Amino acid sequence: MLVSLSIRDVVLIEKLDLGFGAGLSVFTGETGAGKSILLDSLSLALGARADSGLVRHGAPQLSVIAEFDPPPFHPARVLLAAQDMDVADCPLVLRRVVTADGRSRAYVNDAPVSVGLLRKVGDELVEIHGQFESHGLLDPATHLSVLDAFAASGEARRATRTAWDAWRAAAKTRTEAEETLKRARAEEEALRHAHDELKALDPKPGEDAELAASRALLQHGEKLVEAMNTAMAALRAKGEVEASLRSAQRSLERVASLAEGKLEPVIAALDRAAVEAAEAVGQLEHVSADIDMDPRHLEKVEERLFALRAAARKHMIEVDQLAALKADLAAKLAALDGGGDDLAKLAKAEQATRTAYVEAARALSKLRAEAAGRLDVAVAAELPPLKLDKARFTTGVVTLEENGWGPDGLNSVEFLVSTNPGAPPSGLGKIASGGELSRFMLALKVVLARTSPTPTIVFDEVDSGIGGAVAAAVGERLARLGTDLQVLVVTHSPQVAARGRQHYKVSKREVEAGKVLTGVAELARDERREEIARMLAGETVTDQARAAADSLMA
């Protein structure tokens, strides 16, 4: 709800700080005292269009601060959280600054925001119904969610949305499969040709490196053989190197015991050398035997290597990716061959999800139709005491064509009204009389109070053009509405004013020659009695008027 409102330099208001409580708060005062300035100021804080003419004469700028304390997870908090603003556990402070040259700045909890965001937040916090401005229920786009809240259809609505998402996902999968199959069929000849080529080539991962190494070895075969033969000849010159080393080792071993251990390192070194020499000869023989000097082998290796690299260049990939490409082409061709069957399965799955959606949406539509009937009866019962006995309220629930279906179901909803007998019903916004519109909104709000997400409602002169029993009926309904919501009312009716839990009087005062300012004071009980008596009697307050005021307040 609205906790406080601070106004600086707006038209005739120099400085004003107001606190608000729950329930019904009424604003009274003589015509021209400045009650409309309060609504203009609040509207600015809620994101209304800025007008430099609202800046008090001589002041450089105006500012309005409205503090709210909505419950956790209120739509306003959700909206701000979506903008990465941490407002989960704190009041919401909406601030608007307008300079004398018309520039405007907006803030939420001292963070700069766009006026558009401020307006969206404001629409979630306050609904204003006045002679010349209104939002909320006047917007047909809100009527569907309002009826659903009245119908307590949350579970059915969630089921419908879930079924819609499943249908859309199935339809998307089927559409994408169709497009993929269509493209594949258009490229089928090229796919089959590419796959046949790769199948015949049969590339293997890592084959490029192996072939390149074999090619390099074969290209330098003659030089390698010549060098290895020379090395082998050196190892075998004047007998085997290993035999010579072993002979020297045995000669020293025979006298080793006479050398006091000094020959042991030499004998060990000769042993190692003999082993290494034998191993070197064996490896050299092995490598020599592996070298293929057949030029036809080199030709085959080069032919294979060049074929793989040519295929890789053709497909603009690495040689090692050819095997994966072959597998991918095979999968595409398999999908192409079985594409018709797959599409049939996807189409069947899509139809099943559509059927599930229609069933869920029809159940929701049934709840809406039943709730619409209850809402019409409830609103109709509120109209006669408000001097709207000739009016007729209808909740229009229309079943849309399939191209209009969506996550909210099969329906569009609009609240319709006819204020004259025989006249066809039309939208709420078509009600010509501002007073009638406000009373209609009051009747509707009284019925919908417990389902409204907007915690604060403002009525500007809802009692316009009425009096007596009708004004009393308006006051009674405003008070009833105040048990569920915070209600602020600008009124000229003593019957309405007497119902307020808080009563504020708006008045002008001359602070110096030629300078008049508007002030607002919260009235104590005795002051309320005097103000209501003034509203009953006029300029001269009589004892009879005071007694009547006591009766109304009682």
State the alpha helices, DSSP H only, in 187-263.
Answer: 188-201, 207-219, 221-236, 241-255
Residue 167: predicted pLDDT: 97
Its pTM stands at 0.65
Q: Region 291-306: what's the mean pLDDT? A: 74
Superfamily of 1-126+501-521 according to CATH: P-loop containing nucleotide triphosphate hydrolases (3.40.50.300)
pLDDT(238) > 60: no
CA distance 415 to 395: 5
Q: Region 525-542: what's the mean pLDDT? A: 87
**Secondary structure (3-state) at 416:** strand
pLDDT(432) > 80: no
Half-sphere exposure of 444 (CA within 13 A, CB side): 26
Q: pLDDT tens digits, residue range 329-359?
A: 888 787 777 666 778 889 999 999 999 999 9
pLDDT(258) > 80: no
CA distance 26 to 6: 18
Q: pLDDT tens digits, residue range 146-185?
A: 899 899 888 999 999 999 999 999 999 999 888 877 877 7
Q: Which amino acid is at 349?
A: A
Highest mean pLDDT of the ranges 247-256, 374-383, 539-548 = 374-383
pLDDT(144) > 60: yes
CA distance 490 to 227: 111
Residue 136: predicted pLDDT: 65
Q: Region 288-315: what's the mean pLDDT? A: 77
- Crossing angle of helices 188-201 and 154-186, in 10° steps, is 70
Q: How far is residue 66 from each of residues 57, 283, 502, 512, measured CA to CA in Å? A: 23, 93, 18, 29
Residue 295: predicted pLDDT: 64
CA distance 42 to 45: 5
pLDDT(132) > 50: no
Residue 8: predicted pLDDT: 94
Residue 130: predicted pLDDT: 64
Percentage of the chain surpassing pLDDT 90?
A: 36
CA distance 397 to 58: 54
Q: pLDDT tens digits, residue range 474-494?
A: 889 899 889 889 999 998 889
Closest CA to 137 of 437, 475, 467: 437
Query: Residue ranges per domain, the chain?
Result: 1-126+501-521, 185-337
Give the pLDDT band of residue 438 (cuts 50, 70, 90). Answer: confident
Q: For the chain, what is the radius of gyration of the CA atoms?
A: 46
Q: pLDDT tens digits, residue range 64-110?
A: 999 999 988 899 999 999 999 988 889 999 999 999 998 999 999 99
Q: pLDDT tens digits, residue range 180-233?
A: 778 777 777 788 888 888 888 888 888 888 888 777 767 766 676 667 777 777
Q: pLDDT tens digits, residue range 499-533?
A: 999 999 999 887 776 788 899 999 999 999 999 99
Q: pLDDT tens digits, residue range 48-62?
A: 888 888 999 889 999
Q: How far is residue 259 from each of residues 137, 248, 251, 252, 269, measured CA to CA in Å? A: 117, 16, 13, 10, 16
Residue 230: predicted pLDDT: 75
CA distance 19 to 206: 80
